[in-house]
Amino acid sequence: MIDHDTYPELERGTVAPDEMNLRPQNNFVNILVLRELQSHAVFTTNGQDADLASVAVGEGDERDEYSPGLMFMRKQTGSDRRFAKALQRDLGLFDEDEDDCTMQVNEMCQDCPECILYGSAAGDDAISITSRVMYDTAYTLRDATVVIDEKFQNAPGGDYAKTAEATIREPDFFEPGTLFPSVVTLRDATPAELAFVLGITRKNKRYGATTSRIGRTKNHILGVYAGSEEGPANLELTRDVIQRLQRDSAVEYDSLHDVTSAENLDPKRVANHVQESFDESISADNLDLNRISKNTVSELIEIATGDEFAEVLAEQREYSRQFLPDPE
Ligand SMILES: [Zn+2]
C-alpha cells in the first residue's frame, strides 16, 4: 500500500487518509513538470487565437520582453480530469450496478477519489468540494512568432466563394517541440492521491483541443517536493530558465532575445535548467520544501501506472467517501 508507513518521506507534505478533512491545512506537494508538445496543438479560449502574454525577462541592460504562448490552467485540468475519470473506469473502480462518474458539471458523483481530490460543483443541496490539485497557467519559453503557426486554408467549394473572405483561418497551432515549464501542486492530499496524480501526469498524452492527431504532449516529471508551502510559480520559473539558458556556455546565446527567438530548444537541457531553477529558489527563498527521493517517485509512478493501482484506488475511495459530511 502507499501510506506513511511504506513511504515515511511523505509524512511531510501529505496527510494520512483518516486525517482528510474539509478544513485546509498547509501540507503541500509540488510536482515539477516540463510539458513538451510532440505534435501540433491548439490552446485557445476563443476557438481561434492562441492566448498570449507580454513578459519582461532579465534586468538592466539585458532586460528584454517577449510574447509567450499560454496554456491556461483550465486546459491542463480539463484534460487531466477526463484522463483520471477514464483511468478509474479502466481499473474497474465502479461496480456493475453503479453509474460511472462524469465530466458534466453538477452531475459529478462526489463519491470517487477523482471528484473528492479534483473538486466538484454540486447540484441542488449538495456541497461543493474545492479542488486540492492546483494548476497554474503555463508559458512557453520562446516567443509566439516561433512557437505559433497561423494556418490558412482556402475555403472548400468553388463558385460561391471566390472573394477574399474565402480564405478560412484555422486556429493557431503551437509547433511540436514547444516547451512549458509547469508546476502542479497538491494540498492536503494523501500519499495514494499523490500517486494518482503522478500516474495521470505520466500517462496523459493529450492536451488542448484534440483530434486523434494533434495535442500530443509528453510530460517529463522532473521532481516532487513536499513541505508546508508552495514553490515558485510557473511565470517566475519560466523567466529564470530563459536567463539560465542565456548564461549556459554550451549553447552560446548572445542575448535573451536569442533564447526566446530560437528555432528550437533541447528538452533535456531545458529540463536540467528547470530543475536547477526550482532547487535554487527553494534554497534562495528558504522555502520549507524537501525533494522526495528519485527512488520513491519512480516507485509511486510504477504503482500508479500499473494494474495493481486498482486496489490502491479502491482503498482510497473508502476514505474519500467519508470526506464529505453525511447529508442531513
Ligand atoms: Zn466522481
What pLDDT, in 10s, does the model give residues 196-214? Answer: 999 999 999 999 876 778 8
Dist. CA 110 → ligand 1 center (Å) = 5
Dist. CA 288 → ligand 1 center (Å) = 33
- Summarised one tens digit per residue, pLDDT across range 63-85 is 999 999 999 999 999 999 999 99
Dist. CA 237 → ligand 1 center (Å) = 33
pLDDT for the residue 203: 97
Dist. CA 313 → ligand 1 center (Å) = 12
Of 204, 195, 51, which Cα lies nearest the Cα of 137?
51
- For ligand 1, an ion, list residues with CB under 5 A: 101, 108-109, 112, 115
Q: Residue 170 phi/psi, 5° resolution? A: -80, 165
Dist. CA 116 → ligand 1 center (Å) = 7
Dist. CA 179 → ligand 1 center (Å) = 31
- Mean pLDDT throughout 146-162? 66
Beta strand 217-227 with 179-187 is unpaired
Dist. CA 135 → ligand 1 center (Å) = 19
Dist. CA 86 → ligand 1 center (Å) = 11
- Extract the C-alpha cell encoding 311: 486496489
- Summarised one tens digit per residue, pLDDT across range 174-192 is 999 999 999 999 999 999 9
pLDDT for the residue 237: 98
